[in-house]
Amino acid sequence: MSGRKDHDSRDGSRDGRTEPTLGNLRDLDAPHSRADDPDDRLPQISFEAPRRSAPVRRHHPRLRAWHVVVAVLVLALAGGVWTLRQYQNSLRDMVPRTELNDVLSRADAALRDGHLDGTDGTSARELYQSARALEPDNDRARDGLHQVGMAELSRADTAYRAGHLDEAQQELSVARELLGGGSDVDRLDRMIQQARGAAVPADGLVAQAQQALAAGKLTGADGAGALYQRMLAADPNNAVARHGLDQVGAGLAAQARTALANGDPATASATVDQLAALLPTYGDLPALRAALAQAQAQQQGNGALLAAISQGQQALRDGRIAGSGDDTALAHFKAAQAIDPDNVQVREGLGQVAQALVVQANAALDADDTAQASSLLDQAEALAPKSADLLAARARLRSASAPHTHAPANPPAKGAPAAPTAAAEPPAPPPPALTADQIDQVAELIHRARQAATSGQIMLPPGESAYDLYRNALAIDGNNQAALQGLQDLPGLVVQQFNQALADRNLAKANELIGALGDLSPGDSTAGVLRGRLVDAWLDQAERQLDSGDRANAAQSIDQARKLAPYQARVRELSLRLQSGR
């Protein structure tokens, strides 16, 4: 600080004292030392500005340029999608939906009028469903169906309170379909069932149900099934009623199986429907429905099949064997074969046609008409290629077709020129005679064929069977009488061996021999009789196997019988017994 002298005193004193002064404030801005300002008598004070620390650099993630580009593109794409949807919605709203709106308007009107359900297409339920068919996601139609369901539920409740239980149950069923169930639906259903059961005391229902069950009265309003259901409605945990319903279900299932076994699909169908209505979850229902469907299909095809077989047999009796048109035996049996390829009667009918064609071919050979005989044998071979009579006729045809030389009826006089022949070509030479080796070969084949026939190798094994050996012999010598006779004796030998196999209970061998007889003598009536005996033998064996608990072999025996007689009642009965485990 510096002293300040008063302006009134030049010498700087006033009343003997000196006034303190601050000095020149402007001098504070310039730094100076004591030497620079000798008048400053204050102690020297040095000021030092505080050091500022270096600013702390905070690191922020640097936004790269491509991040910005991607963000912009995403935002642009989202905006474009939103704009496109708005545009599509606006276009959709612009499209006139006259038909849909008309259906919805009529549905709303029907709902207001209380016309909730029906079958004439004018009820609210039907109209809302039609609207959903036009536009499945239409909210108005969906809400309308829900309102119909709630209205039906309200009606059901009203009918229940009025004591009209049947009407209430009917309305409730519709409500359940439309609402998909729910606690209100289930509650009302329990109330209806309890009301039904409360009409008669439980003890009285038990006695009535047991009497109906004992009498075999399973269905109907006063049948055992309905009575047990009323007991369950009053007491869902009633063990007596549950057991009784199981007995009713078993009885109805047995009735359906019996009807199927007796070839009565109509009765079986009605019984299965009653069982399904009484016990929708009955365990045997799927199997019964499958058996019923099969029986109905068979019944539908059986009418046409039997008609075709009958017409074919009549055509055979009338001599209309084959040829053009659809009224020949061949045409009718072919139609039957298309319906059931494995039908035994159809195979026998086609065999009879083949036999008739062979007979006609032999008649043509008698008339020296080898061309006609060849055509007839070709037709027969297509139906029964292993027929013994066909093979013999083929050998005869080859012999008749062999060229021969004929002496002229009127030889020319001595010295006269020979008359020209009708044909310009010279006559063909006669067939060469058999060599000694061929004669021995034929004899060896016939010997082996007889041995094979005696040992039961009629048609099997291929190449070593009696049939194949006789055929090979005839291929060398078509007129060999021993081979022809041996071939024609084979059917009778098969019958003898079949009877022996049946007596020995060798059913597999008997099966093989039945097949051989059908090949050798197609259409032979004896085959049908033998087949029936074999079916009975297979089924007798199946019964013995079932009685002993051998279900696996019993199933095989029944299957063998079914192949021979698929529609026999006893086959169906044992099949049902096998399935039921009885």
Please classify residue 215 by burial: count the beta carbons closer than 10 Å to its beta carbon, then call 0-12 exposed, 13-18 middle and 19+ buried: exposed
Is residue 330, in this structure, part of any structural domain at all?
A: yes
Report, as an integer, the average pLDDT of 2-23. Answer: 47
**Distance of alpha carbon 178 from alpha carbon 184, whole angstroms:** 13
Residues 219 and 290 occupy one common structural domain: no
Answer with the one of 283, 306, 341 that is the final residue of a domain: 283
Is residue 29, in this structure, part of any structural domain at all?
A: no
State the pLDDT at residue 400.
79
Q: What angle do CA 477, 478, 480 make, to 5 degrees?
A: 70
Residues 386 and 290 occupy one common structural domain: yes
Instruction: Render pLDDT for 490-520 as a digit per residue (tens, 0 to 9).
Output: 999 999 999 999 999 999 999 999 989 988 9
Residues 109 and 139 occupy one common structural domain: yes
Report, as an integer, the average pLDDT of 433-455. Answer: 92
Report, as an integer, the average pLDDT of 351-360. Answer: 91
pLDDT at position 235 over 90: no
Q: Which is higher by pLDDT, 3 or 570?
A: 570
Q: What is the mean pLDDT of the chain?
A: 78
Residues 210 and 272 occupy one common structural domain: yes
State the pLDDT at residue 429.
52
Asked if the bond preceding 461 is cis, omega within 30° of 0, the reply is: yes
Residues 195 and 243 occupy one common structural domain: no
Residues 370 and 384 occupy one common structural domain: yes
Is residue 69, in this structure, part of any structural domain at all?
A: no
| Residue closest to 233 by CA, chosen among 273, 205, 263, 197 | 197
Q: Which is higher by pLDDT, 72 or 559?
A: 559
Residues 132 and 194 occupy one common structural domain: yes
State the pLDDT at residue 229.
81
**CATH number of the domain residue 194 falls in:** 1.25.40
Is residue 334, in this structure, part of any structural domain at all?
A: yes
**Distance of alpha carbon 432 from alpha carbon 18, whole angstroms:** 182
Q: Is 492 helix (H, G, I), strand (E, B) or coil?
A: helix
pLDDT at position 562 over 60: yes
Residues 216 and 155 occupy one common structural domain: no
pLDDT at position 375 over 80: yes
Report, as an integer, the average pLDDT of 146-175. Answer: 87
State the pLDDT at residue 464.
92
Residues 247 and 192 occupy one common structural domain: no
Is residue 375, in this structure, part of any structural domain at all?
A: yes
pLDDT at position 423 over 50: no
H-run or E-run covering 538: helix 525-547
Is residue 300, in this structure, part of any structural domain at all?
A: yes
Answer with the one of 175, 199, 223 that is the final residue of a domain: 199
Q: Which is higher by pLDDT, 493 or 301?
A: 493
State the pLDDT at residue 203.
59
**Distance of alpha carbon 456 from alpha carbon 60, whole angstroms:** 104
DSSP string for 152-205: HHHHHHHHHHTT-HHHHHHHHHHHHHHHT--HHHHHHHHHHHHHHHTTS-HHHH
**Distance of alpha carbon 406 from alpha carbon 77, whole angstroms:** 105
Amino acid, single-letter form, for residue 7? H
**Distance of alpha carbon 382 from alpha carbon 377, whole angstroms:** 9
Q: Which is higher by pLDDT, 341 or 374?
A: 374
Instruction: Render pLDDT for 183-208 as a digit per residue (tens, 0 to 9).
Output: 888 888 878 877 765 554 555 677 88
Residues 365 and 303 occupy one common structural domain: yes
Report, as an integer, the average pLDDT of 53-69. Answer: 55
Work out how many domains the chain is built from and give that number: 3
Answer with the one of 343, 368, 392 that is the final residue of a domain: 392
Report, as an integer, the average pLDDT of 284-313. Answer: 80
Residues 103 and 155 occupy one common structural domain: yes
pLDDT at position 405 over 70: no
Is residue 218, in this structure, part of any structural domain at all?
A: yes
Residues across the chain: 582
Q: What angle do CA 253, 257, 262 make, to 5 degrees?
A: 150
Is residue 556, in this structure, part of any structural domain at all?
A: no
Residues 267 and 294 occupy one common structural domain: no
Does the reported pTM lie above 0.85?
A: no
Joined tokens for residue 549: 């608990």
Domain residues for the domain of 148 are: 97-199
**Distance of alpha carbon 113 from alpha carbon 128, whole angstroms:** 15
State the pLDDT at residue 31.
47
